[in-house]
């Protein structure tokens, strides 16, 4: 190891193209895609997306891990995850993308996009009744960085907004609920459910048939709607299909799935009440995210605290 630089960045990503990340990180730091040998003391930071298991356990001088995404479940899958701070993405650019996705999907369900697409396919000229946004309650599960920005945008469009979080998170104009005790009252007053939760031990699998059955169905939309842009393993795909088929759900917009890419055999692909995007609600754009990551590394070395840290115990 002698003669090696002493503060290299490991870029360990799978399932995304590392090229641009590598290029931008390399402008200010020496970047490697693989540690040298069994234990590599030259690496002090790691930038990761679904890193190779155990790759981080061999870095004795690792000071911090930077997630390429806002969610960090992909970091925790690693049995050899070292006990160093984990920084996640909190960025205006990503928040804007997610806000656009949520507004797009809520508006499409509210303005009956599926009905008009089906009418157009059959050359049907029919105007269904319209109702004001103020008659619809959108319930946001996960009132964090992305949930709050979406709530603000939906309020400005005139929707009623509910929010559910782990701890008490008051927000002007939003009816807020928290914890287990707040869940059923939150669902009972929600017409369109927007899921923006992190995937943790506490949230895995919670979007199931029983939960969907608690949503308000007798509403101006003619049924309850699910929008999930959080994580696929929050939901049970089979329960969503069952709920759509028996009327528990009117429609769903799904960006994330239990298995990604969504297998060709999934009934969700061709379901007439489902709108699918391929985990594309809010892309991590290296041109917006690498600069702030490098700035944080510099600041940390000047003795400043890291920002946007993950709470390991809570898992997000
Ligand atoms: P935050 O950490 O800012 O917010 C998470 C919210 O979820 C908080 O309000 C938190 O409660 C709440 N929460 C967490 N656990 C529970 C629980 N057990 N019960 C109730 N509420 C809970 O995260 P972000 O808003 O930045 O991101 C949310 C998620 O969005 C990410 O974790 C990721 O999975 C997903 N995502 C998806 C993308 C896509 O393209 N599809 C892109 C980016 C993110 P509290 O406020 O009390 O802490
Ligand atoms: C994220 C994602 O967590 O893109 O940022 O899913």
**pLDDT tens track for 120-147:** 999 999 999 999 999 999 999 999 999 9
The residue to mutate among 73, 105, 146, 281, having the most atoms of ligand 1 within 8 angstroms of its beta carbon, is 146
Q: Is the CB of 159 inside a 6 Å radius of any atom of ligand 1?
A: no
The model's confidence at residue 2, banded by pLDDT at 50, 70 and 90, is very low
Position 4 scores a pLDDT of 54
Position 38 scores a pLDDT of 87
Tell me, using a 6 A CB cutoff, whether residue 253 lines ligand 1. Answer: no
21: left (phi over 0), alpha (psi -120 to 50) or beta: alpha
How much is the mean pLDDT over the chain? 97
| SS3 at position 104 | helix
* pLDDT tens track for 261-298: 999 999 999 999 999 999 999 999 999 999 999 999 99
Assess whether pLDDT exceeds 60 at residue 168. yes
Q: Which ligand is nearest to the CA of 196?
A: 1
Pairing relationship of beta strands 174-178 and 137-141 according to DSSP bridges? unpaired
Q: Counting atoms of ligand 1 from 1, which one is nearest the CA of 183?
A: 20
Residue nearest to atom 38 of ligand 1 (CA): 282
Lowest mean pLDDT among 3-12, 21-30, 159-168: 3-12
| Residue 81 DSSP label | -
Pairwise CA distance, residues 43 & 30, whole Å: 9
Q: Is the pLDDT of residue 5 over 60?
A: no
Distance CA 224, CA 212 (A): 8
C-alpha span between 224 and 127 (Å, rounded): 21
Measure 227 CA to ligand 2 centroid, in angstroms: 16
For the CA of 144, the nearest atom of ligand 1: 4
Are 251 and 223 in contact, with CB atoms under 8 Å apart?
Answer: yes
> What pLDDT shows up at residue 45?
98
Task: Give the CB-side neighbour count of residue 126, counting CA atoms within 13 A.
Answer: 13
pLDDT tens-digit map of 236-264? 999 999 999 999 999 999 999 999 999 99
- Average pLDDT, integer, range 99-105: 99
Q: What is the pTM of this model?
A: 0.97
Nearest ligand to the CA of 143 is 1
The answer to whether the CB of 145 is under 6 A from ligand 1 is: yes
pLDDT at 157: 98
Ligand 1 test: best mutation among 16, 87, 165, most atoms within 8 Å of CB? 165
Q: What percent of the chain has pLDDT over 70?
A: 98
231 is catalytic: yes
> From ligand 1's centre to the CA of 205, what distance in Å?
15
Which of 71, 288, 310 maximizes ligand 2 atoms within 8 Å of its Cβ, making it the mutation to test the pocket? 71
pLDDT, tens digit, for every residue of 50-78?
999 999 999 999 999 999 999 999 999 99
Q: Where are the beta strands (DSSP E) in 33-136?
A: 43-49, 64-67, 86-87
Instruction: Label residue 1 by pLDDT band (50, 70, 90).
Output: very low
Our answer to whether residue 279 is catalytic in this structure is: yes
In this predicted structure, the answer to whether residue 316 has a pLDDT above a threshold of 50 is yes
Where residue 6 falls among pLDDT bands split at 50, 70, 90? confident
Catalytic residue among 28, 178, 271, 279: 279
């Amino acid at each position: 190891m002698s003669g090696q630089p002493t503060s290299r960045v490991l870029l360990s990503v799978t399932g995304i193209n590392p090229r641009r990340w590598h290029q931008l990180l390399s402008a200010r730091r020496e970047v490697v895609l693989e540690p040298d040998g069994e234990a590599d003391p030259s690496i002090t930071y790691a930038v990761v997306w679904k890193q190779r298991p155990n790759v981080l356990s061999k870095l004795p001088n690792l000071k911090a891990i930077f997630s390429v995404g806002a969610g960090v479940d992909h970091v925790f899958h690693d049995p050899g995850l070292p006990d160093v701070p984990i920084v996640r993405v909190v960025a205006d650019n990503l928040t804007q993308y997610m806000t656009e996705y949520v507004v797009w999907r809520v508006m499409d369900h509210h303005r009956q996009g599926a009905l008009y697409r089906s009418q157009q396919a059959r050359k049907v000229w029919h105007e269904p009744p319209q109702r004001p946004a103020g008659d619809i309650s959108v319930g946001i599960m996960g009132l964090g960085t992305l949930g709050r920005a979406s709530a603000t945008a939906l309020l400005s469009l005139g929707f009623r907004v509910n929010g559910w979080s782990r701890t008490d998170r008051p927000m002007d104009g939003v009816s807020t609920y928290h914890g287990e005790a707040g869940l059923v009252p939150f669902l009972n007053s929600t017409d369109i459910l927007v899921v923006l939760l992190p995937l943790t031990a506490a949230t895995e699998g919670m979007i199931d048939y029983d939960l969907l059955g608690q949503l308000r169905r007798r509403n101006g939309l003619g049924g309850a709607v699910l929008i999930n842009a959080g994580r696929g393993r929050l939901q049970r795909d089979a329960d969503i299909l069952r709920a759509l088929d028996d009327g528990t759900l009117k429609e769903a917009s799904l960006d994330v799935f239990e298995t990604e890419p969504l297998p060709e055999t999934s009934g969700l692909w061709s379901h007439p009440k489902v709108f699918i995007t391929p985990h594309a609600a809010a892309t991590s754009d290296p041109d917006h995210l690498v600069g702030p990551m490098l700035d944080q590394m510099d600041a940390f070395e000047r003795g400043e605290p890291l920002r946007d840290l993950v709470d390991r115990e809570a898992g997000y």
